[in-house]
Amino acid sequence: MKSNHSRRHFGCKCLLFVTGAMVLGIMVSCFPYPLAAQEVTAGFTGTITDPSGAPIPDATVTAQDTLRGVPYTTKTNAVGVFDLPRIPVSTYDVTVEAKGFAKEVRRGIALEMNQVARLEIQMQLESVRQTVEVTSAPVLLSLTISCSTAMTTIRSQTTWSATLRAWTLFRNST
């Protein structure tokens, strides 16, 4: 009787294993591809142009996450298009910089889950800035004065009055 009980117990285990394998096979055949997980990200895309509407290549686009303080940076391609995919859902300040153009900033752009915000930014020409640097360093003078009888050299180590007198002599002698 003991052996009969063992056979029945073995048969139940086999039946359970076969049933489990069949259920697993049905599930695999019904869902041949893994389910795509929904991303919890967003992104920016757009075009950067000049005042005439021409694209600006190689412009730097930075989206600064205002909540976390993390910057995400990219460059525009040859036709002025940029793409910042898969950045966290948040609020951003977007800055665009390009050589010869004034910096453009768009503040407080909120991105929701799976949203791709499209930004069309037309940059303005940078105003011309001129810097004049003035230094007060002493000027070293080395003047050579020709006279009919002798050659005189005056150096900057002499006092200003002597230099001015020598300059007057030089101007009068020529």
Mean pLDDT of 76-94: 97
Give the mean pLDDT of 124-150.
53
Summarize pLDDT for 40-69 with one digit per residue, the tens: 899 999 999 999 999 999 999 999 999 999
Strand partners, 45: 83, 118
Residue 127: per-residue pLDDT: 82
pTM for this prediction:
0.54
DSSP three-state, residue 170: helix
Q: What is the dihedral of CA 72, 74, 105, 94, to 10 degrees?
A: -40
Query: Residue 20: pLDDT above 90?
Result: no
CB 98, CB 123: distance < 8 Å: yes
Which of 29-38, 65-74, 138-147 shows the lowest mean pLDDT across its residues?
138-147
